[in-house]
Structure formats: structure tokens, C-alpha cells
Amino acid sequence: MRKKIALCWFRQDLRLSDNLALLNASKAQNILPLYILDTVNSGRDFLGSASKMWLHHSLNSLNQSLDGKLWIKQGDPFEIIKKLLQAYSIEAVYWGRCYEPWRRDRDEKIKSYLIDQNIEVRSFNNSLLWEPWTIKKDDGSHYKVFTPFFRKGCLNHLPPREPLAKPSTLRIFFNEDDSQEIDDLKLLPSAAWGKKVKEFWKIGEDEAQILFNDFLRSGINNYKEGRNFPSDKNVSRLSPYLRFGQVSPNQLWYGALKLGEDKNIDHFCSELGWREFSYSQLYYNPSLSTKNLQVKFDSFPWDRSSKKLVAWQKGLTGIPMVDAGMRELWETGYMHNRSRMIVGSFLVKNLLIDWREGERWFWDTLCDADLANNSAGWQWIAGCGADAAPYFRIFNPVTQGEKFDPDGNYVRRFIPEIAKLPNKFLFNPWQAPKEILQEARVSLGKDYPNPIVDLKLSRERALSAFKSLK
């Protein structure tokens, strides 16, 4: 008699705790824990280089938690699951829901097939506090502005479910002859860049909890204000773990609220709310990563300069606060949120380069690259989103640096070639007197680039371009 099996399909929930799909599968006689690298359905939204690196190490960590019995497959999940049904006595298939358009279409096809085969199929909310279709206005339409979405919609809705513990018992069915090795997926980048990024992180479910607990002990105490200073330790840096589901938003939400309620905890929860809002935008606007939500931007006169784009990507614009952010990204696979706003504003407004170029670069180089968050963030920066920063809000990277990196620690860390400049000229070295540059051993155009644009003139050009849309 063949063993009765429940298949648990891991996707963006690579953890054992607070995993509803796994918890329900564990009630079966046996469980088949499966990860499929979908190489067929994702199209342009296949994982970027940094995300692939993170996924590799995440799967290794999850596999260790499952005593080396995580099934690994790659290809088309529809065909893979069909073959598993033919080979084994699978009675049920469980998974955590995904919200990207291509995943929703794929999952609906698989679900219909399983129902036709009289296989129990259940999906669960493993990734969000409130799923997009649950938060609506009184008239039934979806929110297009964040503050009422979160304050009126989410906070007046049923509270998120409380996080759940790991299953007490996992009876795992495993056939090593029918599973690939994680290395077979070839997720690790061949360039040395990937190894350098990995050195910045400890990747896994346990590591996510350690990082979160450290943040709760210290970083959250001044979160509302401190989160704006890139060199301070007032951010959690949990976004990659959240993106791959090594920690759930429910764990973060209730973990913070257990400390009580104050302005810092409220602001931390509102940042989780912004993530929910991004997913709502993606759900109701499937082309969020490719099309302006405000259609007037379709005629925006973008600059197609590849040289300026490459200078931005490499952190060689000659604008220190911009370059520090871009180099942080390249070295760590992460960028502080304040820096993301500064570098994004500079690309879109000072360089007049299409926000989609920035979205694609972030997609490839950020460990936390998330289709909803990444797309919504760039549309916000560009001013073309549903609830966006006004286009005329142009971040001045000099004054931003002076305000949010007052001691220059952030810039000096990532741009060592200008580290000896005094704070007065650290963010605008092109204005430093010749003798100051000589004393700091900085030769502009040689040790560090001259600015690729004039900040004042480029701001005026951006405002003029925006006015042309009206």
C-alpha cells in the first residue's frame, strides 16, 4: 500500500514557522515539501542576479531545516506537479498565495487541473497582513492613496492573524532519485560580485529572527526619525527576508506591537502597511512595472543617454550622496530607503532617464527586489504613480547629505577616495577651493568624477519637461 501524501509547495514563504500551507500539510500521513524554480512562466519578471543568489542560500537553509529532504525541481510547475501526481499517491496540494500577475494566472491553471483530478487543493495567505481584495472603500472600489488605505482601510479591518508556531511533527516523504540538487539550479552569479554581496548577509529563517530581535532591542527605539539616517542602525534590514518569506509580516507586526504602542512602533507598522499598499496597487494594476499609472507621463520627454545611465549604475555621477547609495547597492545588494529616494529622484529628474531603467537595475541588484514594492516605489519617485510624490518634489542630494549624513560617515564609507574632504565640501566637492582639494588629495576628474549634470540647471530642465505634459 502506497503512502498517502500531501504536497506542500514552497514559493515565497521559505520558512517553517507561521506557514499555513506547511501546517495544514503536516496533518497528513506524509508530506512532500517541494520548491520549483519556474523557468517557463515568469517572462521578464524572472529573478534578478541578487535575488537568485539570495534564493540559493535560502533554499540551502530551508533544506537543512527539513533534514535535507526538500524536493527541488525546475521547469513548468504545471507539468512538474502532473508528473508527481502520476508517480506518487498525492491526495492534497497546499501552497501560499502569490500576487504577481503571471503567478496568479499560472496558479489558477494548476488549481483547475487539480480540482478536475479530484485532488484536494488549498491555498493560504502566507505573505500579507491583508490581501488586496479585502481592503476596499465603502463603495467597493480599491484605494489609490496610501494614508486612507492604511489608516481607514487596514486599521479598521479585522486585525491580521497572529503568527503560528512550527509544526510539531513533519513526516517527510523523500526520493532523492527524483529530486535535483540546489546547485543544479545554477542560481549563483559567476562574477565575484555575488560572493561580495553574500558576505554582507547571513541568510535563513533563524537569521531573520536574530536580526529582528536585535532591531527590537535597539533599532526600533528611534525608528521614526533615525530611519532617515543611512549610517545609523535604526532600520531592520529585514526586507530581503520578508521578500523570500523567511519571516512573515505577521511575525513582524505582532513582534513590534508586543513592545507597546508609540510613534516608532506605529511608523514601523505603517511601513509594513506601505508594502500592503504596493501589493494592492499591483493586484489592481497588473502592468505596474511597465506602464505609468498616470497616463500623461506616457508622453514625457525622457533622455535616452546610456552614458549617464551607466555612470549612475556605477556610482560615478560625481554627486557623492547619489554615488554612495549606488555603491552601497553594488557592494551589499541593499540600499537604505533614504538613499533609494535620493538616487531615484536624481535618475528620473536630474538626468531625465525613464524610471523603468531604474526599476530594472534595482530588480537585478537588490536582494529584496519585489515586483510590487519595486514598481510602486519607482512610480512614487517618478511622480507617475497613483499616490506619488509630486513631480516638482526633487531631492537635492547636497542638502540631503548635509541633513541625513551630517558626520559624513555614509559617504566616506562608500566613497573612500574623497574621505579626507571636510564635511563642508564632502557633498559638493566641485565647490571646494583648490587648496582644500589638494589637502584632501582629491583631483576631480581623476580621483573622483566631476558632476555629470549641474543640479540647478537639471532641476529647471525637469520642471520644464513636466510642464510640457499639461
Q: Which residues are catalytic?
A: 271, 274, 302, 337, 355, 378
Do the beta carbons of residue 259 and residue 269 sit within 8 Å?
no
Whether 162 and 254 have beta carbons less than 8 Å apart is answered as yes
Q: How far is CA 295 from CA 101, 259, 300, 305, in A?
A: 21, 44, 10, 23
Q: Tally Cβ neighbours within 10 Å of residue 7.
A: 27
What single letter denotes the amino acid at residue 345?
Answer: S
CA nearest to 359, candidates 327, 390, 385: 385
Distance, in Å, from the CA atom of 430 to the CA atom of 445, rounded to the nearest integer, reads: 10
Sheet strand arrangement including 5-10: 71-75, 30-38, 5-10, 90-96, 120-124
User: And the C-alpha cell for 321?
Assistant: 550622496
Task: Give the separation between CA 358 and CA 194, rounded to whole angstroms.
Answer: 20
How close are the terminal C-alpha atoms of the chain, in Å? 72
3-state DSSP assignment of residue 6:
strand
Separation of alpha carbons 281 and 254, rounded Å: 24
3-state secondary structure of 30: strand
SS3 93: strand
Report whether 242 contacts 368 (CB < 8 A). yes
Beta bridge partners of 158: none
Three-state SS at 468: coil
* Percent of residues in the chain assigned helix, strand, coil, to nearest 5: 50, 5, 40
**C-alpha to C-alpha distance for 5 and 9, rounded to whole angstroms:** 13
